[in-house]
Structure formats: C-alpha cells, structure tokens
Amino acid sequence: MTTVIVENVLSKYKNPKRDDLIPILQKVQDELGYLSKDAVVSIGKALNLPASKIYGVATFYNQFRFKPLGKYHIQVCRGTACHVKGSFSILERVKSILKISPDETTRDGLFSLEVVACIGACGLAPVICVNGEFYANLTADSIAKIIDSFKDKEKKETTNE
C-alpha cells in the first residue's frame, strides 16, 4: 500500500526535485496517515536524497509523524480557553489511562494522542476531538468514560467477528 501511495503522489511531479520534498511528504502523510520507513526510502530514491537527509528535514517540522495513528486519534486542546477550564487535568487523565504521551500510539494500535492548540470551539471548553468528532465541557471523569466507551465498542466488534 505504501508503494502505491508514494508512486501515486510522485506521479504528479514530472521531475521531482529537492524543493518538492515538503509537499511530497505532506501528501504522502495525508494519504498514509504517517511517514513510514518504506515511504521515506521511496521518496529518497525518487529525489536522489538519502533517507537520513529526509528524516533530518522532516523531523524539523512537527507536522510530520513517523508512527501510524491509532484507530481513535484523540486530540486534546490546550488552547487558552481550554486551559482555563482544566484541559491540563484532562490531558493528564488521558495519558494515565492510555499510558502514552502526546504523539504516541498505544501498543494495540487503538489510541493515539496529540496535543493541539485552539480547535475553534472555545465556548465548549474544555474540548477534545476524536477522529474529527468534538467532545465538549469535559471533566477528567467524563474523558475516562469516553475512552471506556471506545474500549467497549472495540470489545463488541471483536466478539462479533
């Protein structure tokens, strides 16, 4: 799958050059969800750049991820309004329940965590966003229940298979 995605992105460039690296990385990440090792190597071959050089550039920008996101990607807003309403304790609770830090994914691949700046729903603070869906006016206890509900959903889906 990685190869197809990378080839598809690269096919849009006639003669990909070093200046195209960032947009190529962005497009591949959009499609793949992250920059896999295979993707970095393939991009490097196309641009005639060593993988180490690509990692060097990509790690400079915090928009790039090198691990796949979880099935449930939790974005905890740490903007000012959410901070004032207690987003720090929500973040700490998520970290403690999932035993991961921001920008990590749980071992089972179910959850990933990202800290974001204002996501534009300050009136509903504190807010998190899971796979594009907002959860508002949270407390440390309500976030625990939300995570439990995802775990329950997974259990049901697993037992129904």
73-102: which residues touch ligand FES (CB under 6 A)? 77, 79-82
**What strand order describes the sheet that includes 133-135?**
111-116, 72-77, 128-130, 133-135
Nearer to ligand FES, 13 or 135 (CB): 135
Q: x/- string (CB under 6 A) for ligand FES, residues 111-140? A: -------xxxxx--x-x-------------
Strands (DSSP E) contained in the chain are: 72-77, 111-116, 128-130, 133-135
Nearer to ligand FES, 118 or 140 (CB): 118
Place of tokens 């990692």: 55
Nearer to ligand FES, 98 or 125 (CB): 125
Q: Are 40 and 54 in contact (CB under 8 A)?
A: yes
Tokens representing 100 are 């991961």
Residues at the interface with ligand FES (CB under 6 A): 77, 79-82, 118-122, 125, 127
